[in-house]
Amino acid sequence: MNILSLGEKIKKLRKEKNMTLKELAGDRITAAQISHIERDKSHTSHELLDYLAKRLDVSIDYLLETKEMQSRKITDNLILQSEIYIKTNQLENAQDQITKALEICKEYNLTDNYGKCNFLSAKIHLRREDYDLAISSFEKALFFFIRNNDRKNIFKCYSYIGEIYIKENFYKGAISHFNFAEEILDEIKEEDINLYKDFYSKMASCYMKLDQPQKALDYIAKINELEKNNSIKEEAEIMVLKAKSLFSIGQYEESKEYFRRALELIEKEEDKNKLANIYLIISDVYSNMGDTEKVLEYSQKAYDIKKNDEDQYMLEGLFKMIQSYIDDDEYNLARKYCKLTLASSIKNKNKLSEYKSLKFYADIYKKENEIELAIEYLTKCIEIVSNIEDYKLLANLYIELGQLYSNISKEKELEYYQKGVFVYKNLEII
């Protein structure tokens, strides 16, 4: 990883080959001239460099690489390594690579890579949920990205800061940064349609939290427009047709670029998790507005995308559908989907989802005034929640069970109220 001058490279290579100054000089020049070159005391002609490269078994390009060129190559590689470490959650290793890269960037004034290093440091802080440090590093990165007019990374910084503010429930701050990000997004004309959908869904969610439903709906309308006019599959097919056309007339490099872009689009189409999450966020927006029909529409979309995966996205989509059917008094449909979530939860040993499924059953029977069945399912819920040790949830269930017993058994009602209060006291809630 050493960054060497021309003379230092020649000396290092000569010593690695156990050559004396005289042996390297040969009949071409003198040992004294080689010594001067190694100490960077004299300039060399292109012909002499070609001679030395052949004697040392390296390319002339390697010898001609300046310290600045070497520093860029080294920092590029350190940045790539750190990105891999971040993606594999090896955060200490990632930070080590970034620290090394930052030192080189400072020494050789590599402002673009200095920005990238701060950006990756911010992502590490974000993974560690150290939001203040993450924002600070994103803001440092922004300074260098703006200085270098790196529009894509400027957009990313504003977006990430907005997402952090969402986590901290500071929605005005989030919107402020998202507005900056949106200006950039309109300029860069990003091809990734899902990026737009994800971004617009977060904007909609923030406006909903700020009690500005019309603005939330405006962004949902943008998502709907994207879905109507932009099929990633169709875009990929167009790219492939262009690539084939260029290939047929011998424009191989241009053809390769279109094939590459088509492949990227196809891979993005496979990113079902992000798309499902977008639909779930939109569903939440409509839930806050009380629009059950739209909640069902977008929950169904999330479920349809993930129904073969049986993961948390699929379950969340179903849970939102079930709640909507309960709200609309469509109890048979609610039970139908409860059956699916319960079966999937048991199969995958997901106790929290199993609890949620049983709780929906209890809610349905409570609404139908089937109190004994509601008590039966709520008792099963308490058993599961006790085992997963979610005490706040357990206290709530005890209180709810006490309420169900209010017209059946005063003794049982009091028993469960007392249990709930006891847990609340232990949690120092009351």
Q: Which two tokens stand for residue 400?
A: 């709810």
For 228-247, what is the mean pLDDT? 65
For 413-427, what is the mean pLDDT? 87
Structure confidence at residue 385 (pLDDT):
92
- pLDDT digits over 261-298, tens only? 776 765 565 567 777 888 888 888 888 788 889 889 98
Say how far apart CA 257 and CA 262 lie, in whole Å. 9
User: What's the longest Cα–Cα distance across the chain?
Assistant: 110
Q: Which two tokens stand for residue 224?
A: 């709907």
Cβ(261)–Cβ(191) under 8 Å?
yes
Structure confidence at residue 308 (pLDDT):
84
Q: Which residues contact 146 (CB under 8 A, 6 or more apart)?
A: 154
Structure confidence at residue 47 (pLDDT):
83
Backbone angles phi, psi at 206, to 5 degrees: -65, -45
Structure confidence at residue 430 (pLDDT):
55
The secondary structure of 92-113 as a DSSP string is: HHHHHHHHHHHHHHHHHT-HHH
Indicate the range of 35-39, 339-343, 346-350, 384-388 predicted with least confidence: 35-39
Structure confidence at residue 342 (pLDDT):
94
Print burial letters for 361-384: b (CB count within 10 Å at least 16), e (below 16).
bbbbbbeeeeeeebbebbebbbeb
Examine the pLDDT at 312 and tell me if it is beyond 70.
yes
Share the mean pLDDT of the chain: 87
Examine the pLDDT at 229 and tell me if it is beyond 80.
no
175 pLDDT tier (thresholds 50, 70, 90): very high
Examine the pLDDT at 428 and tell me if it is beyond 80.
no
CATH 1.25.40.10 intervals, the chain: 68-190, 342-430
Amino acid symbol at 409: S
Say how far apart CA 105 and CA 95 lie, in whole Å. 15
Span 342-430 CATH architecture: Alpha Horseshoe (1.25)
Span 6-65 CATH architecture: Orthogonal Bundle (1.10)
Q: Which two tokens stand for residue 326?
A: 């309960």
CATH 1.10.260.40 intervals, the chain: 6-65
Examine the pLDDT at 236 and tell me if it is beyond 80.
no
For 39-66, what is the mean pLDDT? 82
Residue carrying structure tokens 């939001």: 131
Indicate the range of 86-90, 106-110, 284-288 predicted with least confidence: 284-288
- pLDDT digits over 134-168, tens only? 999 999 999 999 999 999 999 999 999 999 999 99
CATH topology classification for 68-190: 1.25.40
Examine the pLDDT at 95 and tell me if it is beyond 90.
yes
For 221-249, what is the mean pLDDT? 69
Backbone angles phi, psi at 271, to 5 degrees: -80, 70
Structure confidence at residue 237 (pLDDT):
67
Q: Which two tokens stand for residue 57?
A: 């078994």
Q: What percent of the chain has pLDDT over 70?
A: 90
Indicate the range of 246-255, 281-290, 412-421 predicted with least confidence: 246-255
